[in-house]
Amino acid sequence: MKGKIMGACVLLALSTACTEKQTWGNPVEQVAIHRVDSMPDMPESYQMIDWKQKARDFDRFVFDWNNKSQTGPLIWLDNAHRNIDQTTFGLYTAINDIRQGPKANHGEFHESLNSLAAVLGAGLVGIDKTNQDGYNYVKMLQNYFNSDTGWNIVMNNTTSSVGMEGGGYGRDWWYDVLPNALYYAVCDVFPDVEGAEAIQRSIAEQFVKADSVLNGNYDFSYFDYGKMQGGVNHIPLQQDAAGGHAYVLLSAYRKFGDPRYLQHAKSAIEALLSQKESRFYEALLPLGVYTAAYLNATEGTHYDIGKLFDWVFDGCKSPTGRTGWGIIVGKWGDYDVSGLQGSITDGGGYAFLMNSIKPAWPFIPLVKYQPQYACAIGKWMLNNASACRLFYPGYIDEQHQWAPELKDMTNNTIAYEGLRKHDDYGKKELKDVSPVAIGDGPKWIKGNPTASMFSVYSSSPVGILGAIVNTTNVEGILQLDCNATDFYAARPYPTYLYYNPYSETKSVIYRSSTPCDLFDIVAKEYVAKDVSGEGGISIPAKSARVIVILPAGTKLNVVDNQIIANKQHIISYQ
């Protein structure tokens, strides 16, 4: 066994575990995601930043009402009292976006996908957004619940009068579904906020009605939740909205226990799987993959998870869909960019930070329910979490940035919106430079400044990485928190995914303040027992472990191939 083991008592425990006869079932055979197989085991340009600190710095910078930097305040009050009789807040989508702020569009143009992700991310890294600087930001988010429009779901803006400035409002389906998934997540992180439960119930009822009306046919560009009818326009068809519907309805079922929500979560997944090819568009399909995986584990369904994963990673190839949208693989110049999400085909590749962060939310907890994907997801996340730093001006060389002269105004907490294989603005200094940190802000409206390439909207979900990603004593082996974003699920014990990218066994240190047993649901074995202080987790070469942290002495039983702790909690479903 290679790697240093800390403490004689731990060494004894590990030796005992290694010689113990296995009694917990057969190890889980790993299933490949072939596009992940094409990614490097260990990126050559690997660097893991402190994502938790990055999230805390983002919150401090963006929610600073007296920001004295070059950007000025990125937050303002909206006193229009739309939908809910209260003042709310707005965040700039991008730095110096001329469409926004207290004096533009009556101060009402701000996006829930930005505000919700920022509040969620802060909560995930331990910041109380119900009481910060005298504001209850979680309560203020309720203004995005569009009761005035009769849609009665959470939407991307507070009113349709500014909706056309951004996305959604009967034009672009994912913009109208994702805010509701985010809202459920926020409500799990910040429970018992006045008025929230009624909004969650309304969302669930509207989604039940929508899935009933759609009746398996999601062949639309958008859906009007007021009129309960779909429509087609110039925007590609978004059948993967079914994945978003399923996730929200599953969350509603886990919160409220209404069997109708479970029934329609299954109905939506079946509509998703009825597609003949990938319909991946922006953000919703990964939520559907998680939902299908969870239902397989807990409800005995047999949904084809492998097909859904391939649809995400290989991307959409249909001319009637978001052609080329998928997970990027490769090296651009000297930088590894595997794992990022965006267009595989646009200009040779165009990745987006927001889209690259968001799949971690469903994919990391998914391995608790489908541990056969532990290696594939661990390898993908290693690549993705390393490459996500490249959007930040402080982590990519100046010659690879479109506006290096402006990087100081970002405090290195506001990232470029995107990372392109090649510049598409035609800047002569960037000819033959690859990749280029860049953004679409100047294209949104005439007069938008170069600074709008720096995207608050794209940076706001950074707390998802902050909550999930931790480093270990071995460079390149991450401790990935499988519970952090498993919203409304039972989470009785801490659970972590570890992936070893090396060609030899490695041992990582696990620290615990109370005695615990470490059980791997992939190998179906204890890796250590009665660990107190520091213990070692030995991980074979190019393998993954999903470690459940059990109180020392926890009794395990096998019932119908499921491993149950203390005759109460299922820790292994297969």
| Together in a domain, 443 and 503 | no
Q: Which domain holds residue 123?
A: 34-468
> Within a domain: residue 279?
yes
Tell me the helices (H) and strands (E) count for the chain, helix number first: 17, 22
462 plus 497 within the same structural domain: no
Of the residues 433, 468, 503, the one at which a domain ends: 468
Q: What total number of domains does the chain contain? A: 2
294 and 239 Cβ atoms separated by less than 8 Å: no
Residue 14 has pLDDT above 70, yes or no: no
Which of 423, 453, 468 is a domain's end point? Answer: 468
Q: Check whether residue 358 and residue 426 sit in a common domain.
A: yes
At 82, list the tokens. Answer: 């739309």
Instruction: For residue range 467-480, list pLDDT tens digits in order.
Output: 999 999 999 999 99
Query: Do residue 457 and residue 526 come from a single domain?
Result: no
205 with 242, same domain: the answer is yes
Do 442 and 528 have their domain in common? no
Query: Is there a single domain that holds both residue 416 and residue 561?
Result: no
Q: What is the DSSP letter of 37?
A: H
> Could you tell me if 83 and 224 lie in one domain?
yes
Residues 454 and 519 in one domain: no
Task: Taking residues 279-293, report their average pLDDT.
Answer: 97
Model confidence over 499-531: pLDDT tens digits? 999 999 999 999 999 999 999 999 999 999 999
Name which of 533, 527, 535, 529 is nearest 517 in CA terms: 529
For the chain, the maximum distance between any two Cα atoms, rounded to a whole number of angstroms, is 70
**Tens digits of residue pLDDT in 107-132:** 999 999 999 999 999 999 999 999 99
> Which pLDDT score is estimated for 379?
98
Contacts of 222 (CB under 8 A, 6+ apart): 170, 171, 172, 173, 176, 230, 231, 233, 235, 238
Q: What is the pLDDT of residues 223-259, one digit of tens each?
A: 999 999 999 999 999 999 999 999 999 999 999 999 9
Q: Is residue 220 part of a domain?
A: yes
pTM (predicted TM-score): 0.95
Cite the beta strand spans of 385-476 per DSSP E.
415-416, 418-420, 436-438, 454-455, 469-471
> What value does the mean pLDDT take over residues 82-88?
97
Structure tokens at 179: 């805010």
Question: How many residues can be counted in the chain?
Answer: 574
Say if 407 falls within a structural domain: yes
Q: Residue 546 sits in a domain of what CATH number?
A: 2.60.40.1180
pLDDT band at 171 (very low <50, low <70, confident <90, very high): confident
Band of pLDDT at residue 15, cut at 50, 70 and 90: very low
pLDDT of residue 216: 97
pLDDT confidence of residue 5: 32
In contact, 380 and 309? CB cutoff 8 Å: no
In a domain, 486, yes or no: no
Confidence at 21, pLDDT banded by 50, 70, 90: low
Asked whether residue 324 falls in the same domain as residue 384, the answer is yes
* pLDDT at residue 304 is higher than 90: yes
Of 434, 468, 502, the last residue of a domain is: 468
Q: Measured between alpha carbons, how far is 244 from 207 in angstroms, rounded to an integer?
A: 10
Is there a domain that residue 523 lies in?
yes
Report residue 22's pLDDT band, with 50, 70 and 90 as the boundaries. low
Q: Are residues 130 and 173 in the same domain?
A: yes
Domain for residue 485, yes or no?
A: no
Q: Does the residue 2 lie in any domain?
A: no
Q: Does residue 235 sit in the same domain as residue 112?
A: yes
Confirm if 519 and 547 have CB atoms less than 8 A apart. yes
Distances (CA, A) of 53 to 6, 381, 412, 413: 27, 19, 12, 10
CATH number for the domain including 224? 1.50.10.20
| CA gap 101, 414 in Å, rounded | 17
Residue 162 lies in a domain: yes
Q: With H, G, I as helix, E, B as strand and everything else as coil, classify residue 335.
A: strand
From the list 164, 163, 144, the residue with the least C-alpha distance to 155 is: 144
